[in-house]
Structure 1
Amino acid sequence: MSDRRDPWFDDDAGPLVPAYAVTRGRTASNRHELDMITLVITMSTGLGLTRLEPEYREILQLCGVPKSVAEISAEIRRPLAVTKILIGDLIDDGYVAYRSPRPMNADSADINLLRTVLDGIRAL
């Protein structure tokens, strides 16, 4: 029999709190358009942060330098949808800023860039 003080889980088990509990049941945020490649940067140190979930502090620490939403999601080990909601909360509270990629339309597309992408796809 194992010692009662031994943990019954390990790091490979993943987060113990279900994702929906962290977001309080929210499944989407309609306030901000966040893509996987949207860059996020901390604007405030987090002093006075009223949100208790540790993921919020982790995001603030990670984003001292600009990070993409996908990178943040991987670092905090949460699904992308959950990460977007958490980042949206921090944006609303004024702790982080974000910059989404500028959409490219066909009129302003650089033909050389498109050729390079096509060449890369053909090389696969």
Structure 2
Amino acid sequence: MADGWSGDDERDEPGLVPLYVLVHGRTRPRNSNLDLATQVIALPADISRLEPEYADIVNQCASWMSIAEIGAYLRRPLTIVKVMVDVLVEQRFLKIGSPAQQQVADLRLMETVLAGLQRL
């Protein structure tokens, strides 16, 4: 048959790494608090030595993003994304938190708004 099937299930595209290799066979994150809604953000770090798949996650997280969003943007299975995010958090490339934890840029403005609300 000349249908092009070579008999194995691995893709013939160069540079593709099986996902289970990227997560070293782990099936779940060590941090049991991670879920699909967990927000993460990239920390300033040199990512030049990361595998491209991990660097893609760090690059995607320039602003706060949920694990579910990362998986959707990068078209990766969510289970694998959770483990990869966990690895990146352990290695201090990503930080867990929420957008509400960002520093208020102008504290005086917030104090003015609070004073105005208290007068109501």
TM-score by length of structure 1 reads 0.60
The aligned amino acid for 1:22 is L
| Structure 1: runs of 5 or more not aligned | 1-7, 10-14, 101-124
Q: Distance in 2 between matches of 1:16 and 1:40?
A: 26
Q: Distance in 2 between matches of 1:49 and 1:26?
A: 23
2:27 equivalent in structure 1: 27
Q: 1:22-77 deviations in whole A, cap 9, x for unaligned?
A: 21211112224111111110112x316643x2111111111111111001011222
Q: Secondary structure at the match of 2:36?
A: coil
Tell whether 2:11 aligns with 1:18: no
Q: Which 4+ runs in 1 deviate beyond 6 A? A: none
Q: Secondary structure at the match of 1:41?
A: strand
Q: Secondary structure at the match of 1:28?
A: coil
User: Aligned residue pairs: how many?
Assistant: 86
Which of residues 94, 99, 103 is equivalent to 1:96?
A: 94
RMSD between superposed Cα atoms in Å: 2.3
Contact 1:40 1:63 in 2 (8 A): yes
Which of residues 43, 57, 65 is equivalent to 2:55?
A: 57
Contact 1:40 1:68 in 2 (8 A): yes
- Overall identity of the aligned pairs, in %: 35
Q: Distance in 1 between matches of 2:46 and 2:39?
A: 22
Q: Distance in 1 between matches of 2:17 and 2:68?
A: 20
| Structure 2: runs of 5 or more not aligned | 1-11, 99-120
Contact 1:39 1:66 in 2 (8 A): yes
1:86 equivalent in structure 2: 84
Q: Secondary structure at the match of 2:56?
A: helix
Q: Secondary structure at the match of 2:96?
A: strand
Contact 1:19 1:79 in 2 (8 A): no
Tell whether 2:38 aligns with 1:38: yes
With over 3 angstroms needed to count, the CA separation of the structure-2 counterparts of 1:32 and 1:97, relative to structure 1, is farther
